[in-house]
Amino acid sequence: MSNHPSIDALRQLFEEQLQAASTEQALKGIHDAFLGRKSGTLTQALKGLASLAPEARRETGQQLNALKSDIELALDERLSALAASRPPAGAVDVTLSSRGFPIGRIHPLMRVRQQVEDIFTRMGYEILEGPEVEDDYHNFEALNMPPDHPARDMQDTLYLREPIVGGTWGAHRRSTGARGAPGGAEGRGWLPAAQVRAATLLRTHTSAMQIRYMKTFPPPIRIIVPGRVYRRDNLDLSHTPMFQQFEGLVVGPDVTLADLKGTFEAMLRELFGDVSVRLRPSFFPYTEPSAEVDISCQSCGGAGCGTCKHTGWLEILGSGMVHPAVFEAVGYDPGQVTGFAFGLGMERVAMLKYGVDDIRLFYENDLRFLEQFPL
């Protein structure tokens, strides 16, 4: 046996080679190396049996034949396993990049708007839009800001050179005629009120719709009016000449300042998560008492930081109890009803909610900004 490798060594050699072989070709190479008709190591060994003594020939022959059948079996197994793992015809490389399915995004301001709309819808509010061009009466005068009122300075107004016909509002109420006009006319009776006949200015707040709505419908009222408003402001980090507002109005026989508090706590907690809400006295001509509403600063947890100017609080909206002069202007009896009104800036909410520090980003419409808001 000295001129042949030992059988155990052969077996070991085979197993090592089998282990390393991963392709059909490699397996075929192993087959040839051991069982090749002419030069296969095992074939050679079997041929060499003839030279052995009969006793040794029988024993070695048995071992060599056992090894041969083991090799054949192992190679067959590996070959069929390899065949089974080969991808079927037309198989694809699933790791190649996909073809892509273009999908757009809702603007972050509209995202905020839809969220606020949803919150108030669940609270039983009616949501409606109003015209963007308005007249002086609805934007100022009926809101307790007669001409020459100092508060008009707070809202630097953009005026039209000549009046135009403004937009319509409340088309849905015309078709259903749910409540009819305060004058007693039902259904379609209030149609003329639903259009701005001679708009002279760009509304400075959505509050103008308070007047249109109250002049058209009797109490109780619970509405939300989202929309664009305009001020004669230059563009900077925190100002744009156009921005988005939410007007809210609730009127009924006994609406209270405590109701206002409850409403804002519910709304702001849903919008911002677990925040504290506080009211601060303020001044608006169309509300009395008036209040600014703050939420606790989330960046510092109320301890004070740059975002909240070290007060721990962030101003989020202006509000108050509807001024009796406003009720008088629309023909409501301030002795019979009370109400609260509020105005919420969508940019402000979006800036706080998404950590945006430059309001102009909302109006540049840069895709790299917009795509950060998931659908």
Partner 1 sequence: MRVLLSWLRELVDVPGSAEDIARTMSLRGFAVEGIEPVPADVSGAGGPADAVLDFEVTGNRPDCMSIVGMAREIAVAYGVPLKPAGQPPAAPKRKAGLADSRTQGGRPAGKKGGAAGIDIVIESPDLCPRYVGAVAEVEMGASPAWMQRRLEASGIRPISNIVDITNYVLLETGQPMHAFDLARLAGGQIRVRAARPGETLRTLDGQTRTLPPEALVIADAERAVAVAGVMGGGDSEVTAATRTIVFESAYFNPLSVRRTSKRLGLKTEASMRFERGADPSLPPAAMARALVLIETTGAGRPRGRVIDRYPARIRPATLRLRRASLAGLLGCPIPDRDVRRILERLGFTLGKAADGWRVVVPTRRGDVTREVDLIEEVARHYGFDRLPVTFPALAAAPPPVDPRITRARQLRRVLTAAGFFEAVTFGFTSEAAAAPFAPAADLVPIANPLSESFAVLRPSVLPGLIDAVAHNRRREQRDVRLFEIGARFTRSGGERRAVACAWTGTAAPEHWSGSARAVDFFDIKAVVERVCGAVGVAVQTATSADSSLAAGSRADLIADGTRVGVVGRLAQAVADAHGLPDDDPVYVGEIDLDALEQLAAGRTIRVAPLPRYPSVTRDLSVLVADTLTAADILRTVRDSAPATLVRVNEFDRYQGKGIPDGSVSLSLRLTFRSSDRTLTDAEVQAATDRVVAALKERHGAVQR
Residues between 197 and 216 that touch partner 1 (CB under 8 A): 199, 202
**234: its two tokens:** 């230059």
Omega of the bond leading into 334 within 30 degrees of 0 (cis): no
- Judged by CB under 8 A, does residue 116 bind partner 1? no
Please provide the DSSP assignment of 215-262 as one string: HHSPSPEEEEEEEEEE-S---BTTB-SEEEEEEEEEEETT--HHHHHH
For Zn ion, which is the closer residue by CB, 240 or 307?
307
- Judged by CB under 5 A, does residue 359 bind Zn ion? no
- Judged by CB under 5 A, does residue 305 bind Zn ion? yes
Give 203's contacts (C-beta < 8 A, 6+ positions apart). Answer: 130, 131, 132, 133, 134, 139, 227, 229, 230
Coil, strand, or helix at residue 341?
strand
> Could you tell me the smallest distance in angstroms from the CB atom of residue 300 to Zn ion?
3
- Judged by CB under 5 A, does residue 300 bind Zn ion? yes
- Judged by CB under 8 A, does residue 314 bind partner 1? no
> Could you tell me the smallest distance in angstroms from the CB atom of residue 304 to Zn ion?
6
- Judged by CB under 8 A, does residue 267 bind partner 1? no
Per partner kind, with CB cut-offs from 5 to 8 A, the member of Zn ion, partner 1, none near residue 258 is partner 1
> Could you tell me the smallest distance in angstroms from the CB atom of residue 296 to Zn ion?
8
- Judged by CB under 5 A, does residue 352 bind Zn ion? no
Residues between 132 and 191 that touch partner 1 (CB under 8 A): 132-133, 148, 150-151, 153-154, 158-162, 164-173, 175-176, 178-179
- Judged by CB under 8 A, does residue 236 bind partner 1? no
**199: its two tokens:** 């708009």
Per partner kind, with CB cut-offs from 5 to 8 A, the member of Zn ion, partner 1, none near residue 300 is Zn ion
For Zn ion, which is the closer residue by CB, 155 or 299?
299
Under rule CB under 8 A, how many of the chain's residues touch partner 1? Answer: 103
- Judged by CB under 5 A, does residue 315 bind Zn ion? no
Per partner kind, with CB cut-offs from 5 to 8 A, the member of Zn ion, partner 1, none near residue 297 is Zn ion
Place of tokens 């190479």: 29
Report which of 117, 125, 121, 111 is spatially closest to residue 341, judged by C-alpha positions. Answer: 125
Gap between the Cα atoms of 201 and 225, Å rounded: 18
Starting at the edge strand that comes first in sequence, how are the strands of the sheet with 126-127 ordered?
126-127, 221-230, 242-252, 338-345, 313-322, 287-296, 277-284
C-beta separation of 167 from 132 below 8 A = yes
Q: Which residues bind Zn ion (CB under 5 A)?
A: 297, 299-300, 305, 307-308
